[in-house]
Structure formats: C-alpha cells, structure tokens
Amino acid sequence: MRITHWFRAAAAASVLLSALATGAEAVPTGKLPDDAKPLSYALDLKIDPKADRFSGRVRIKVRLARPADHLWLHAREIDVVKVVVTEAKGAAHDAKLTVRDPSGVAEVAFGATLAAQDIELAFDYSAPFNAKLQGIYKVKVGDDAYVTTQMEAISARYAFPSFDEPRFKTPFDITLTVPSGEVALANTLQTAAKESDDREWKTLTFAQTRPLPTYLVALAVGPWDVVDGPTIPANSVRKNPVPLRGIGPHGTGPQLKWILDATPATVKYYEDYTQQPYPFDKLDLVGAPDFSAGAMENAGFIVYRDALLRIDAKSPASSYRSSFNVNAHEIAHQWFGDLVTVPWWDDIWLNEAYATWAQGKATVALKPEYLGDLSRLEGTLYAMNSDSKLSARKIRQPIHDQGDIENAFDGITYQKGAAVLRMFEEWIGEDVYREAMRDYLAKHKFGSGNSDDLIATIARVSGKGETLAKAMRSFLDQPGLPLVHAELKCNAGKGAEKTGKLELSQSRYLPFGVLSHDNPQWQVPVCARFGNGDKSSRQCFLLDQPEQEFALAGGCAQWTMPNADAAGYYRFTLGKAEFAALKGHAAALAPAEQVVYADAISAAFDQGRIGPDVVLEAMPALASSQIPQIATALVGSFEWIREHLATDATRPALDAWATKLYAPRLQELGLHKRPDDSDATTRLRVGVVDLLALTVRDKALRAQLNGEARAALGLDGAGKVDLAKLDPDIRGTALKVAVQDSGEAAYKAVQQELKTNTQTKQRYELLAALAATHDAKLAEDVRNYGLTPAVAVGEIPYLYSSHVGEEENRAGFWAWLKPHFDALRMRLPDSYQSSAIGYAGAGRCSKESGEEMREWFAPRIKQVIGGERKLAQSLEGVGTCGALRAHVGDKALATWVEAHPAR
C-alpha cells in the first residue's frame, strides 16, 4: 500500500517540475503525445568497431495529426549535428533537437507552425559506443572489437533519434557502412553491397523490415564467424524455406552447431501451434561476447550471451538445457512480441509470460528428458515467493517512468504470468485455448494487441464470457496469490448413498507476521484430485466466493490433492485429517504434485503454522526420489533453518541429518558423470554435491573436489592450467572449494586464468569461484576487482552474487559497498542498476539490520533506476525473515536435535 502512494507522489512531483522547466507543456516522461506518429525509418549508419564512436543519418517519415511547431521523441547521449524537416510538398528547413529529460525525452522545434501533414525528419548525428551494453555498444575480445545492439526496453534512443515506444511499429530500411574487412548484419537479409572508391569501406543494404517497434531493431559489426545452420524447410503453414545462421565471435563457429541443429524443430512446433508462418525472411542466432540480459528476441536476429549458444564436449549438462530453453523462449517471441507487439510496457507480460509459457510447452514436447513440466513448476514457485510480498508488482502494473519499465521485467511478469496462462489453459482445455491463441494472432499480426484484446478473445472462443474475463483479471490486476484451504466432507444422503463434498475457502497467502490491509479475493479455477486408496479422479471448480462448498461427482473421497497436476497458481492448506491422509499417498502422486505437496510444507513453515521439526521429518520421503526437483524440494527450507535458526550447538545435528539423507544418494550416483546418465541424473548429482560440499561442507567431499581443482589449476607441480581435467558438471563447485580451501595459491591461479580464458561459461564459473573466497584480504581484493575492466559488464552479477552468497563475506561487502555504491551501479546497465540493493540485503534477517539498510539507502535511492521498489522488496524480505525467526525461536529445533544427535 505504502509503495503505491509513494510512487504516485513521486510521479506527480516530476511532472510538476518538468512543467515549470519548459514554461507551459509538461515533458512527456511516460507516453509520447498522440499528435505525431512515425510511419517509417531509413537508418544509415557508419560503424567502425575499432573507433570509439559511430555516426549516422536517420530519416523518419512522420504523420502530424494537427498543426504543430514542435514534436516530442527520444534521443539520449547523442550529438545531433543537423536536423532538417521536409514538408509534404518538398519545402525543407532546419529544425532543432533539445533533450528535455535525462531519460532521453527530446523536443524537436520546427521553427514555424506546420500544417497537419506527412513530413520527413532527417537527423545527422554521432554517438559514443555505449559502455554499458545498451543501444549500439562495443565489446573487445583480445584485440578484436565487436559491435552489437540491445534496444529493449528503452535503449534505441541511445542508438538513433526515435519514437522509442512499442506501440509505434513501422518498417525500417537499414544501411551499414563498415570497414571492408568487417562482417555486418542486421534484422533482414542483405540485398546489396558497394565498395568505396578507395576500397577502405563497404556499404551494405538490407531488405526493408516488416513493421517493427524500435526495441526490436538489431545489427552487428565485427570479425564475426558466420556459419550456416540447417535450412528450416517449407511446410503446410509456410511456403518458403527460411535460412538459418549462427553468428559468434571469431573462432566460436563450430560451437554453434548443437543449437542450430535443434532450431528447425522448435520453429516448426510454434508454426503448428499458431498456424502462422515464421514471420521474417531469415533467422540468425547471434552469440554476443558480452550482453546485459540472457537473450533478446530481435526480429530475425536473436542475440544471446554467447555462453548460451556455445556448446561442446566441455559444456555442463545445464548448458545444453539452458541453451535449448532460452532458444525456445526467444523463438516463441517471434510470434509473441514480434509478430504481435504490446502497445505499452504495462502489458509487457503478454510478451514475456507468453514466451515463457510457450517455451515450457515446446520443451515438454521436444525434449521430454529435460522434465520441462517440473522446470516450469520451479519457475512458478519462484514467482510465488516474490508474490508473497506486500510490495509485489501486479502482472499488469501501471507504468509511470523508466524505473517502472525496468521493474516490469521480473518474475511476476515472466513466471507468474506464464503460470496464470497455464491455469486458464487447463481450465478451458488445451484445444479451445489453442483455438483462441490462433484467433488472437491472426487478428493482430504485424500490429499490436493488449490484455483486453486477449481476454476478450479467450472469453469468446471458450464460450465462458464474462466469467472467464473476470477470473483472469482477478489475477492480472491485483498482486499476490491465493491460499486455498480445502476440507473433505462425507454426508449421509438419501438411502445408502453418501454425498462427498469439498469445502474451499480463500485468502491472500502471506508469510508470518505480514497482514494484508484489504482482503483481496480471486476467481480461482481450482482443479483437485480425489482419491480412494491409490485410485484417483480429478474435478475442477471455480472458487469465486470467500467460502464455497462443492459436490464431488465421484462421491466421498478418502484424500485430496487440491492442486491437481500442479496447474493452479495458488498455494493450499488442508485440515489436519486431510493432510495426514495426503501424506499417506504422497509417494503415489504425479511428480509435479509431489513438488507442490512439498511446497505446501515450506509455505506452512513460512507462515509459522508448523515447526522446523515437521519440515525436517518430511525430508526423508522426498530425498530418495530419482527426480531432482522432488529429491531436493525441501532443501531451501532446510538451508533457511540451518542459517537462521540453528546455533553452533544445533548445526552439527542438521549437517548430520542432511549427510544421512544425501550422502548415500551421491554414493549411488557417483561424483562424476557416467556415459548413460540422463539429464535428470546429472542434475540431481549437481544439487547433492552443492548441498554437501558448499552448505554442509562435508570434509571428505571437499578434499576430493579441492584435489581435482588443484590439478586442473596446475597447483601441485603440474604447471599448466587445464580446466578440461575437471568434470564440466561440477567444475564450478570444485573451483569454489579450491579457492576457499587452498587459499591464495588457488585465488591467484584463477585470477591468472581469467586474463586469457575466453570461454564465457568457464569465465562465469571462475569469477564465481574467485568471489567465494573466505579470506578477508582476498575478499576485499575481489570486490575491487569487480570494478575493473578485467571483469566485463555482463559478468559483474556472477561475481557479486557469489560473493554475498557466502556468509563470511557479507559484513565486509556492506562496509565496502558504502564508498563504492555509485561506482558499482554506474558500471551496470540501467536495467541492473538496482541489483546492488539485493546484494546488500543478502542474509539479513532482523529488524535492526533492515533499519541499517533503510537508513543508508534512504537519501540515495531516488537516483537509482528502479531502486525504490527493489529496496522495498528487499527490506520486506529482511523483515519477514526476522519475524519468522523470532516466532519460531530455537526451542523447537533444540528439541528435535535431542532426538537426532549428530553422533
């Protein structure tokens, strides 16, 4: 509540100040006015990756809806040399661009009042390559320099003057003039090339794009490897084959083969589903040597962190899986986001939730061995944790400024959005839902669609009308998630018949000590499983009242799982008898249901309704599962108990408990990958090794890992560093253990290796290992190291998140952060500027430590893009952690430990 008011006040104040500054008209820091609309762009850029700046001319055709002497658009950190406005009848005169707001809102004054008409604006300008991976930016790898782009959310304004809002979709004509020896690429296929007279330069012309918003424009220049992938063949939906290419830093071409080979099937999957042909003239998968996010769905030119595309025999199993998943996500965007685009950032969930939901479907269909349904569920549970905060965003949160835009790319938009879609898909049926999606895409293709358009389509096609619309809105337009309480009843009916009933009630799920000021209600599609013995059936209900009773079609039931197939976006509680009955059948539930059963236990613990003993006693039944997500389902709660409730006296018993449960699992799995291991087996091994080596700190296991890493780092007289000696799946863990247990020698060797290693995945592991040191002097060294150019911008999060993941480093980090906060945040892209707040909050679990943070950040937070919400969420997490710790106390754990001594 407090947050919402604060935001409104801040937004109102900034409008007022802007109005004062310009005299009359307020600077449009949110949406641009409607009276000028771009119709097309011609972008001519001259780019030499070896230089520090680029130059260009952009011509924009603009429709003026009414007479005007100026218009508003966006330009940021751009030096405009000349602006010419050409009227419809050909008269041309100079105009002037003035930046009015630091977020890049600019006014173009025509010097005279022009009638309503179509005009052309031509800007000659130059700009620096951005240092923070935004707009058009440059990255050096050894002596090579690569230029690429990242425009989303609002960074196209760093690259060229533009109407930098998603609702403006227009064709782009792109021409690139680059040094003759460089490779240059863009969204579409190249149509012409011309060399300069002195042969120093070449000018490449690219086919006109389909209508695109500025945030999907992309290009690349540099000594790239370009490799052909398999052509995506024509099919019943699409007449022409689509050329597929992989693009990566020089020398990385061969590593792109795996993902290129997997891509045609993914494209076909979405074409079958949507019945819309892949919308663009080719598909390039581009691995950028440094990148701010994971990947970006630019139309026909998807850019990734190159670590996500570079796959070979030295890659861990997790890299194959992420490569496939992220590629499936970005390709889904070619329909969900690129073909149909959201008009404004408050609907960004339509892009991200849809791509996340579709990626899950594609993975389940095409790579069953990745257990996509369980990965999807992990995402849902992650979103539920964020959504349990009072300061959580809504899926459809109003957007007032840049901070709101950056905040919008979070777990609520992606994973909660995807989970809500899945719940409604399950409720109306997969076939009906697919029909609605086809209808929606066909109607809005090459244009825009918003939430209301989509809801109306699903409501109409499903025949559920306003009931469905209301239900969907109850999840989109309010924050938080429902807690559904379920009880079974069995009443004597007429004659010998007994009637089974399910009593449901709902409230907002909140952790212990947090009270909701209002009492939000949802229209929740609840699908529950009902069992008699090991036989079960499924029935769905719409819970649209605070309390409701439903008749069971199959008569009385002995037990119920209130979230059948884990398809619902809600948590549940059960009556005592119902919980005991479910526990008795837990092992017979489907894997996803076993995971939500475990989540119900964690959620009850977080609400202070059950003690740590119940969590610990529930672990053995899960730990023996072959499925990693089930086997480790309660490890998060275990780690919380170990970190925040245990004392020096009780911790050894907890460690012994985890060792008793999981050491035999490692024994049976072996420490190293075996030729026939499935992805799930590998994943389970990694989870167990991390728990035993890094959390419980098992001495024998650490000695083994330390020895293997020492050999790979050349520490025992072996001389040369050879990371290939390490098993890729546990390489990162082994390196961490070596830095912690072998001290300065390992630290130095890792830092030396980072000077020359260009395998980006390995670099992330090396940086995380370096930062995990427990030595106070080295810890200070690594914190400063993160501010030097030796650590690339996109690598920074790997370093600091690993650093504060270690309890030993948190006090030192906080002391260091205070004088270095601005240096750290200013190295990061706008979208990550607020992440240092999260690092500062790591491990804090008391009111006092929250206050300490609040006080220090209070006078600084307004300058941090997206900082207010990040701070509010961080502090709320600290507060609820402290409240739960105080509520549970250490008595219950001490009693449990007496019954389970370490020896």
State the Cα–Cα distance between residues 146 and 155, nearest whole angstrom: 18
Output the smallest distance, CB 342 to Zn ion, in A: 12
Interface map 296-335 toward Zn ion (x if CB under 5 A): ----------------------------------------
Q: Is the CB of 101 or the CB of 352 nearer to Zn ion?
A: 352
State the Cα–Cα distance between residues 550 and 817, nearest whole angstrom: 56
Output the smallest distance, CB 295 to Zn ion, in A: 8
Output the smallest distance, CB 408 to Zn ion, in A: 12
Output the smallest distance, CB 329 to Zn ion, in A: 6
Output the smallest distance, CB 864 to Zn ion, in A: 24
Within residues 856-875, the interface with Zn ion by CB under 5 A covers none
Burial 452-482 (b: 16+ CB within 10 A, else e): ebbbebbbebbebeeebbbbbbbbbebbbbb
State the Cα–Cα distance between residues 701 and 698, nearest whole angstrom: 6
Q: Give me the phi and psi of 763, to 5 degrees please.
A: -60, -40
Residue owning tokens 């300058």: 863
Q: Is the CB of 97 or the CB of 350 nearer to Zn ion?
A: 350
Q: Is the CB of 325 or the CB of 607 nearer to Zn ion?
A: 325
State the Cα–Cα distance between residues 729 and 727, nearest whole angstrom: 6
Q: Is the CB of 407 or the CB of 539 nearer to Zn ion?
A: 407
Strand extents, DSSP E, 493-592: 498-508, 524-532, 535-543, 547-551, 559-561, 571-574
Q: Is the CB of 159 or the CB of 418 nearer to Zn ion?
A: 418
Select from 318, 356, 325, 355 the least CA-distant residue to 340. Answer: 355
The one segment of 45-53, 161-169, 347-355, 476-484 that binds Zn ion by CB under 5 A: 347-355
Output the smallest distance, CB 679 to Zn ion, in A: 23
The one segment of 178-186, 349-357, 693-701, 732-740 that binds Zn ion by CB under 5 A: 349-357
Query: Contacts with Zn ion: how many residues (CB under 5 A)?
Result: 2
Tokens of 859: 């006078």
Q: Is the CB of 216 or the CB of 355 nearer to Zn ion?
A: 355
Q: Is the CB of 355 or the CB of 817 nearer to Zn ion?
A: 355
Alpha helices by DSSP H, 586-648: 591-606, 612-623, 628-631, 635-640
355 touching Zn ion, by CB under 5 A = yes
Output the smallest distance, CB 338 to Zn ion, in A: 11
State the Cα–Cα distance between residues 59 and 26, nearest whole angstrom: 26
Select from 66, 408, 43, 349 the least CA-distant residue to 208. Answer: 43
Tokens of 317: 């199993």
Are residues 277 and 223 in contact, defined by beta-carbon separation less than 8 angstroms?
no
State the Cα–Cα distance between residues 893 and 78, nearest whole angstrom: 61
Interface map 22-51 toward Zn ion (x if CB under 5 A): ------------------------------
Residue owning tokens 């600077």: 27
| DSSP state at residue 739 | H
Q: Is the CB of 355 or the CB of 459 nearer to Zn ion?
A: 355
Output the smallest distance, CB 404 to Zn ion, in A: 18
H/E element, 487: strand 482-492
The one segment of 18-26, 346-354, 574-582, 888-896 that binds Zn ion by CB under 5 A: 346-354
* Nearest residue relative to Zn ion (C-beta): 355
State the Cα–Cα distance between residues 531 and 5, nearest whole angstrom: 48
Output the smallest distance, CB 360 to Zn ion, in A: 13
The one segment of 354-362, 366-374, 430-438, 886-894 that binds Zn ion by CB under 5 A: 354-362
Output the smallest distance, CB 152 to Zn ion, in A: 9
Are residues 607 and 512 in contact, defined by beta-carbon separation less than 8 angstroms?
yes
Burial 63-72 (b: 16+ CB within 10 A, else e): ebeeebebbb
Q: Is the CB of 352 or the CB of 698 nearer to Zn ion?
A: 352
Output the smallest distance, CB 296 to Zn ion, in A: 8
CA distances from 725 to 314, 422, 682, 720 (A): 10, 43, 18, 11
DSSP codes, 584-597: HHGGGS-HHHHHHH
Interface map 87-126 toward Zn ion (x if CB under 5 A): ----------------------------------------
Output the smallest distance, CB 293 to Zn ion, in A: 8
What does the radius of gyration of the chain's CA atoms come to, in whole angstroms? 28
DSSP codes, 776-841: HHHHHHHHHHTTSTTS-GGGHHHHHHHHHHSGGGHHHHHHHHHHHHHHHHHHS-GGGTTHHHHHHH
Are residues 146 and 56 in contact, defined by beta-carbon separation less than 8 angstroms?
no
The one segment of 116-124, 352-360, 685-693, 881-889 that binds Zn ion by CB under 5 A: 352-360
Q: Is the CB of 156 or the CB of 524 nearer to Zn ion?
A: 156
Q: Is the CB of 44 or the CB of 352 nearer to Zn ion?
A: 352
The one segment of 201-209, 230-238, 348-356, 789-797 that binds Zn ion by CB under 5 A: 348-356
Q: Is the CB of 352 or the CB of 425 nearer to Zn ion?
A: 352
Q: Is the CB of 44 or the CB of 338 nearer to Zn ion?
A: 338
Output the smallest distance, CB 297 to Zn ion, in A: 6
383 touching Zn ion, by CB under 5 A = no
Q: How many CB atoms lie within 10 A of CB 96?
A: 14
The one segment of 189-197, 241-249, 353-361, 549-557 that binds Zn ion by CB under 5 A: 353-361
State the Cα–Cα distance between residues 262 and 328, nearest whole angstrom: 10
Residue 128's DSSP bridge partners are 53
Angle, helices 776-785 vs 810-827, to 10°: value is 10
Q: Is the CB of 72 or the CB of 336 nearer to Zn ion?
A: 336
The one segment of 319-327, 351-359, 497-505, 644-652 that binds Zn ion by CB under 5 A: 351-359
Output the smallest distance, CB 348 to Zn ion, in A: 9
State the Cα–Cα distance between residues 169 and 173, nearest whole angstrom: 13
Q: 864 by DSSP, 3-state: which?
A: coil
Q: Is the CB of 271 or the CB of 352 nearer to Zn ion?
A: 352
Output the smallest distance, CB 352 to Zn ion, in A: 5
Q: Is the peptide bond before 153 cis (omega within 30 degrees of 0)?
A: yes
Output the smallest distance, CB 748 to Zn ion, in A: 39
Q: Is the CB of 397 or the CB of 773 nearer to Zn ion?
A: 397
Q: Is the CB of 329 or the CB of 710 nearer to Zn ion?
A: 329
412 touching Zn ion, by CB under 5 A = no
The one segment of 355-363, 508-516, 627-635, 782-790 that binds Zn ion by CB under 5 A: 355-363
Residue 139's DSSP bridge partners are 146
Output the smallest distance, CB 74 to Zn ion, in A: 22
Within residues 704-723, the interface with Zn ion by CB under 5 A covers none
The one-letter amino acid at 31: K
Three-state secondary structure string covering 157-213: HHHCCECCCCCCCECEEEEEEEECCCEEEECCCEEEEEECCCCCEEEEEECCCCCEC
Output the smallest distance, CB 164 to Zn ion, in A: 19
Within residues 218-237, the interface with Zn ion by CB under 5 A covers none
Q: Is the CB of 153 or the CB of 817 nearer to Zn ion?
A: 153
**Contacting positions for Zn ion (CB under 5 A):** 352, 355
